[in-house]
């Protein structure tokens, strides 16, 4: 998944980004609201992590603007304000969730997963499709009784494809979802991860189909 982290505290932003990248997510960081708007105009994001107090404005104004513009990207607000009224305020403005600083990274990760599950229409963590079972929390793929571990990029690629079976994803779309601006990648990288994931799915009723000139889609045989 590709996340946008809007946070001006360098130490916190680096720590959060590194933790999320260890889970295989791509993370772009914006230190100001202006940078955040630039990022959103240039790439799609699966989730936005938004600080409230930023050098060039209030994150709540940014949140309200995104919802008025009918941007439905999930937004989790990171705030040092612990008052109930402040938390209710950001939820009413359209935030999907919030975490109060200082927060535990495990809690932040759990809230990210929960928000993404809700937006994807899945109430359960474990997903089942065409003869395989997939648990993103443990990075495990089970085909029948055989468990197969997934590496980070394989895990995120499967999440993307499984989130919309039969939908065609171009290489550019997959690159946008899997890699951040700071990473230099080519279309060949997508081919490598698709090939690896195909091997992991071998023996199930699922296959990653190449649609010539368009991209890839997850289908059921």
Q: What is the pLDDT of residues 167-189, one digit of tens each?
A: 999 988 888 888 887 777 777 88
134 and 87 both lie in a single domain: no
Is residue 86 scored above 90 in pLDDT?
Answer: no
136 and 105 both lie in a single domain: no
In this structure, are residues 13 and 29 in contact, taking their beta carbons and an 8 Å threshold? Answer: yes
How high is the pLDDT of residue 17? 93
The dihedrals phi and psi of 102, each to the nearest 5 degrees, come to -75, 145
Boundary-marking domain end, from 91, 119, 147: 119
Query: Residue 29 and residue 35: Cα distance in Å, rounded?
Result: 9
104 and 135 both lie in a single domain: no
Residue 47's pLDDT band, with cuts at 50, 70 and 90, is very high
20 and 110 both lie in a single domain: yes
Is residue 122 scored above 80 in pLDDT?
Answer: no
110 and 135 both lie in a single domain: no
Q: How many domains does the chain have?
A: 2
What CATH number is associated with residue 30? Answer: 3.40.50.2300
16 and 97 both lie in a single domain: yes
Q: What is the pLDDT of residues 63-74, one digit of tens each?
A: 999 999 999 899
- Residue 19: which residues within 8 A CB-CB, separation 6 or more? 105, 108, 109
What CATH number is associated with residue 134? Answer: 1.10.10.10
Is residue 43 scored above 90 in pLDDT?
Answer: no
108 and 167 both lie in a single domain: no
143 and 98 both lie in a single domain: no
97 and 165 both lie in a single domain: no
8 and 111 both lie in a single domain: yes
114 and 138 both lie in a single domain: no
Mean pLDDT of 82-104: 87
Query: Residue 128 and residue 188: Cα distance in Å, rounded?
Result: 29
Boundary-marking domain end, from 93, 119, 145: 119
134 and 184 both lie in a single domain: yes
Is residue 98 scored above 80 in pLDDT?
Answer: yes
Structural domain including 149 reads 127-220
Query: Residue 156 and residue 161: Cα distance in Å, rounded?
Result: 9
Boundary-marking domain end, from 119, 152, 171: 119
């Amino acid at each position: 998944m590709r996340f946008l982290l809007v946070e001006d505290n360098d130490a916190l932003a680096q720590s959060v980004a590194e933790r999320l990248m260890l889970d295989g997510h791509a993370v772009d960081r914006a230190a100001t609201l202006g940078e955040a708007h630039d990022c959103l105009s240039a790439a799609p994001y699966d989730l936005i992590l938004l600080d409230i107090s930023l050098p060039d404005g209030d994150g709540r104004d940014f949140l309200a603007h995104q919802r008025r513009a009918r941007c439905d990207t999930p937004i989790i607000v990171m705030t040092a304000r612990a008052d109930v009224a402040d938390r209710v305020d950001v939820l009413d403005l359209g935030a999907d969730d919030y975490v109060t600083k200082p927060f535990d990274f495990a809690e932040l990760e759990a809230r990210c997963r929960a928000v993404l599950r809700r937006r994807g229409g899945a109430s359960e963590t474990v997903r089942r499709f065409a003869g395989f079972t997939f648990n993103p929390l443990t990075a495990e793929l089970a085909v029948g009784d055989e468990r197969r571990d997934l590496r980070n990029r394989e895990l995120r690629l499967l999440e993307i494809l499984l989130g919309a079976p039969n939908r065609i994803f171009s290489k550019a779309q997959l690159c946008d979802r899997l890699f951040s601006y700071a990473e230099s990648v080519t279309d060949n990288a997508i081919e490598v991860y698709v090939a690896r994931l195909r091997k992991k799915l071998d023996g199930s009723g699922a296959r990653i189909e190449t649609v010539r000139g368009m991209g890839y889609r997850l289908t059921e045989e």
